[in-house]
Amino acid sequence: MSLHEYRESICIERQDYSFYALVMAAMRKADSGNAVKLREAWPAVWAELQARYNAPDGLLKGEA
C-alpha cells in the first residue's frame, strides 16, 4: 500500500458508504487473485453481485 492509497481510503471513508457497498466495489475492481480471496471471504455478497450484475437495472425478481 502506498501513501496515496492510504489518503484515498480516507476520502472514501468520509463518503460514508456502507460496508457491503465497499466490498462489492472491491470485488468489481479486484484482479483475479484478489477476486478469489474476496469471493471466498464473502460468498453471499459475491453471489448477489453476480445476480444483480446480470439482472436488468440490478433488480432481482420481486423487486420494483
Mean pLDDT, to the nearest integer, of 8-33?
97
Residue 37 in any domain: the answer is yes
Q: What is the pLDDT of residue 64?
A: 82
Residue 21 in any domain: the answer is yes
Residue 4 in any domain: the answer is no
- The confidence band for 43, taking pLDDT boundaries of 50, 70 and 90, is very high
Mean pLDDT, to the nearest integer, of 33-41?
98
What percentage of the chain carries pLDDT values higher than 90? 97
Residue 10 in any domain: the answer is no
User: In degrees to the nearest 10, what's the CA dihedral of 8, 14, 47, 61?
Assistant: -140
Q: What is the pLDDT of residue 2?
A: 98
Residue 7 in any domain: the answer is no
Asked whether the whole model's pTM tops 0.85, one would answer yes
Query: In this model, does residue 38 exceed pLDDT 90?
Result: yes
